[in-house]
Amino acid sequence: MKQFIITENFHVNEIEFDNRFSDEQACYDYLFQNRWPNGFVCTRCGHDDYWLSNRKLFICTNCEFNLSLTAGTIFHGTRKKLILWFTTRKTGINALALKALLGLGSYDTAWTWLHKLRSCTIRNDREKLSGEVEVDEVYIGGRHSGKRGRGAEHKLVVVVAS
């Protein structure tokens, strides 16, 4: 997956973000600028001239190679409009709330989107935890007879450190 590196001072609040990405074209323009900061360049032949197809494919005028703006990104293969991906909320959101917020058809779709979005928030150069660190665990799973809590069958342990 292509990793975008944000080199600008990004929006500090939800209103600025929503104003910047208020329509589909604004989202495409942002992705274009991040993918090709110095203008379009064909990945096959290096030519810098293109035409845009009805399906929003960038077609090199030299070798006629088709490039999708979303190929290799978390947006690849999406059938939804980009503006849905650029929807923001201050607080965290779970898959069920995302499904309702964006009108997605299934929980699985919302869960996949959420994990793609979360994968983009991980900084490769992040610092390791240091100093005083809080750690907690929780067991997730439906009700089952037998042992409860630590060591219970049919439960998944989740550990969080901050």
Residue 53 near residue 68 (C-beta atoms within 8 A) = no
82 inside domain: no
Closest CA to 26 of 68, 71, 80, 86: 86
Indicate whether 120 and 155 sit together in one domain.
no
Contact 141, 152 (CB under 8 A): yes
> Taking residues 129-144, what's their average pLDDT?
78
Q: Is residue 33 part of a domain?
A: yes
Same-domain pairing of 108 and 140: no
Predicted local distance difference test score (pLDDT) of residue 103: 86
**The pLDDT of residue 27 is above 80:** yes
Same domain, 53 and 6: yes
Q: Do 136 and 158 reside in the same domain of the chain?
A: yes
Model pLDDT, residue 65: 97
Query: Rounded CA gap, 161 and 96, in Å?
Result: 24
CA–centroid distance for 71 within its chain: 13
Q: Are residues 72 and 15 in the same domain?
A: yes
Q: What pTM does this model have?
A: 0.60
- Domain range enclosing 95: 89-126
Distances in Å between the alpha carbon of 149 and those of 13, 152, 155? Answer: 40, 6, 8
Q: What is the pLDDT of residues 62-76, one digit of tens each?
A: 999 999 999 888 888
What is the total count of domains within the chain? 3
Chain length of the chain: 162
Distance CA 111, CA 96 (A): 8
One-letter amino acid of 24 = E
Give the H/E segment covering residue 118.
helix 107-120
Tokens matching residue 14: 């939800």
**pLDDT tens digits along 103-135:** 888 999 989 988 888 877 776 777 787 888 888
- For residue 94, being part of any structural domain is answered with yes
| Residue 13, burial from CB neighbour count under 10 angstroms (0-12, 13-18, 19+) | exposed
61 and 107 in a common domain: no
Residue 119 and residue 74 in contact, taking contact as beta carbons nearer than 8 Å = yes
Instruction: Inform me whether the pLDDT recorded for 88 exceeds 60.
Output: yes
| Alpha-carbon gap, residue 85 to 74, rounded angstroms | 10
Mean pLDDT (the chain) is 82
